Structure 1
Amino acid sequence: MQDELDEGGGKQAYKDYISALRRWLVPHFGDTDIAKIDLAALTAFDAWRTEQNEKPFSQSGIYNHNAALNRVLDEAELHGWLVKSLRPTLLNKGIKSESRGSFTDAEYKKIYTALRTWHKKTSNSKAAATREVLRNYVLFLANTGVRHGTEALGLRWRNIEWHNKDGELYLFVNVDGKTRKRTAVARDNTQEYLERQQLLNPRLSYDTLDELLSAQCDELVFVTRLGDVATIFNLNRAFNALLDELGLKVDAGGRAGTLYSFPHFYATKNLQSGMTTHELSAQMGNSTAMLDKFYSKYSPLLNADLHSGRQVHRNAKKAAKDEGRSVAELAFDMLAGGQLDEAGLAAAIGVGRTGYVVTEEIVMKALAAKRDDLIDNGTLLAILNG
Structure 2
Amino acid sequence: MGSHYILGDKVRIYRRENSSVWQAQARLEGKKWRVSTKTDSLAQAKEFAEDWYFELRGKSRVGQLTAERTFADAAKQFLLEYEAITNGERNPRYVKDHAARLRNHLIPYFGDKPLSQITAGMVQDYRIIRLQPNADTGKVPTRSTLHHETVTLRQVMKTALRHGWLAHLPDFSAPYRASGKISHRAWFSREEYKKLYTYTRERAKSAVGLNWQHAAEQLHDYILFMANTGLRPDEANSLEYRDVTLDEGEEGDDPILLIEVRGKRGVGYCKSTHGAVQPFKRLVERNRPRPTDLVFPQDHKKQFNRALTDCDLKFDREGNRRSAYSLRHTYICLRLLEGADIYQIAKNCRTSVEMIEKHYAVHLKNTLDARAINVRRKA
Bin of the TM-score, shorter chain as denominator length? 0.5 to 0.7
Matched, 1:26 2:90: no
What does residue 150 of structure 2 align with?
A: 66
What does residue 269 of structure 1 align with?
A: 334
Whether the 8 Å contact between 1:21 and 1:65 is mirrored in structure 2 is no
> How does 1:10-89 map onto structure 2 within 5 Å?
10-12=89-91, 15-16=93-94, 18-19=96-97, 21-22=99-100, 24-31=101-108, 32-33=111-112, 35=114, 37-50=118-131, 51-52=133-134, 54=139, 57-58=142-143, 61-73=145-157, 83-85=165-167, 88-89=170-171
> How does 1:129-278 map onto structure 2 within 5 Å?
130-148=215-233, 150-163=234-247, 165-167=249-251, 169-179=255-265, 181-201=267-287, 204=289, 217-223=291-297, 230-231=298-299, 235-278=300-343
Matched, 1:298 2:363: yes
Q: Deviations over 1:265-304 (max 9, x none)?
A: 112211222212123222222222332333433333x236
CA drift of 1:139 comes to 0.9
CA drift of 1:247 comes to 1.4
Mind listing any 5+ residue stretches in structure 1 that lack a counterpart? 206-216, 224-229, 310-342, 344-375, 379-386
Q: Deviations over 1:138-182 (max 9, x none)?
A: 11111111122x222121222212346545554211223543543
The change in CA–CA distance for 1:33 and 1:76 in structure 2 (over 3 A counts) is: farther
Matched, 1:288 2:353: yes
Q: Deviations over 1:163-220 (max 9, x none)?
A: 4654555421122354354322112231211122224547x26xxxxxxxxxxx2222
Residue 237 of structure 2 aligns to which amino acid in structure 1?
L
Whether the 8 Å contact between 1:250 and 1:256 is mirrored in structure 2 is yes
What does residue 90 of structure 1 align with?
A: 172
Whether the 8 Å contact between 2:184 and 2:362 is mirrored in structure 1 is no
> How does 1:111-122 map onto structure 2 within 5 Å?
111-118=196-203
- Cα distance in 2 for residues equivalent to 1:128 and 1:88: 57
- Cα distance in 1 for residues equivalent to 2:158 and 2:213: 47
- Cα distance in 1 for residues equivalent to 2:214 and 2:107: 40
More helix by share: 1
More strand by share: 2
The change in CA–CA distance for 1:289 and 1:40 in structure 2 (over 3 A counts) is: closer
What does residue 368 of structure 1 align with?
A: none
Residue 219 of structure 1 aligns to which amino acid in structure 2?
D
- Cα distance in 1 for residues equivalent to 2:238 and 2:248: 25
The change in CA–CA distance for 1:110 and 1:71 in structure 2 (over 3 A counts) is: same
The change in CA–CA distance for 1:177 and 1:29 in structure 2 (over 3 A counts) is: closer
Q: Deviations over 1:297-337 (max 9, x none)?
A: 3333x236x5369xxxxxxxxxxxxxxxxxxxxxxxxxxxx
- Cα distance in 1 for residues equivalent to 2:190 and 2:174: 37
CA drift of 1:243 comes to 1.2
- Cα distance in 2 for residues equivalent to 1:123 and 1:40: 64
The change in CA–CA distance for 1:38 and 1:256 in structure 2 (over 3 A counts) is: same
What does residue 88 of structure 2 align with?
A: 9
The change in CA–CA distance for 1:66 and 1:107 in structure 2 (over 3 A counts) is: same
Matched, 1:99 2:184: yes
The change in CA–CA distance for 1:245 and 1:74 in structure 2 (over 3 A counts) is: same
Higher mean displacement: 91-100 or 62-71: 91-100
Q: Structure 2-normalised TM-score?
A: 0.61
The change in CA–CA distance for 1:61 and 1:200 in structure 2 (over 3 A counts) is: farther
Paired residues in the alignment total 283
1:84 match: secondary structure: coil
